[in-house]
Amino acid sequence: MPVLVVADLHLDLWLEHGRDPLAAVSPDIWLRLDALILAGDLTNKPKVRWPIMLRHIGRYMPLDRVHVFPGNHDYYHHVLDGDDRLAELARAEGAHFAQKSEFVIRDHRFLCCTLWTDFRLGGGRAEAMREARGRMNDYRYIRVASDGYRRAKPTDTEHVHANHLSWLSDRLSMPFDGKTIVVTHHCPHPDLVPEPADAVAPAYASDLRALIGEFQPAAWLFGHTHWPGSAVVGRTALRNCSVGYPDEAKGRQDEWFSSGLLEFF
């Protein structure tokens, strides 16, 4: 029975264009899915749109088999410290909120979190933060409720990254009799961003090869970059499972799901 992992669905934008990327998945696969994991960037404006988009997904499969956690876009017009509200929205529709969540399907353990980044890719943390703050919409459209609803700063998301990485390291260190699959929104490998020399690349990926090498999960699936990269670190297969924006997916809308489809027998 398969599990489908999908990042960067941006379903609100697709539906605004009169297109439905989920229609590319065959009815047979929808019927057989054990679970659908939405690995961030389901939609902007989550307080309004998450319920609508989850109900749309519910046309394809029961929402009690859907696990969803936020990407950066899911915090737009929301707050970085607002996961409790996102959890309420998901659960109200019957879906599972999977931020910093561990769950087991058959003999496979899934560890899910947004992750964010440490801005240290390339070594220039301060410069990377300046570039990100000036160029990334994350720092225009995301607020911090606990500090007067000010705009989020790169140091805020860096702090969340440290929290998520600590949780992930702790869970990976726990023995499990089966295979472990990590699912994050942000990228864990410097070679899996499309333009690693770009000054804003540190907002897309962190170099977590040491962590991967230490714990050797069976697979690590991620998104955020909208770029179909893959790599192998030791015994760990890394794979991007982004769908992307409607104009980015032209010519591959019938095959995007194959990168995130995990078949278990």
Q: CB-hemisphere CA count at 13 Å for 211? A: 18
Structural domain count of the chain? 1
Beta bridge partner(s), residue 7: 242
Residue 265 confidence (pLDDT): 41
Average model confidence (pLDDT) for the chain? 94
Residue 154 confidence (pLDDT): 99
Per-residue model confidence as pLDDT tens digits over 108-160: 999 999 999 999 998 899 999 999 999 999 999 999 999 999 999 999 999 99
Per-residue model confidence as pLDDT tens digits over 213-263: 999 999 999 999 999 889 999 999 999 999 999 988 565 655 667 778 887
Residue 258 confidence (pLDDT): 75
Domain enclosing residue 259, as ranges: 2-263
Residue 153 confidence (pLDDT): 98
> Would the pLDDT of 78 be above 90?
yes
* Domain at 120, CATH number: 3.60.21.10
> What DSSP letter does each residue of 222-256 carry, written as one string?
E-SS----EEEETTEEEEE-B---TTTSTTTTTTG
Q: How many residues does the chain have?
A: 265
Which phi and psi angles does 168 have, rounded to 5°? -65, -45
Rounded to whole angstroms, the Cα distance separating 97 from 76 reads 18
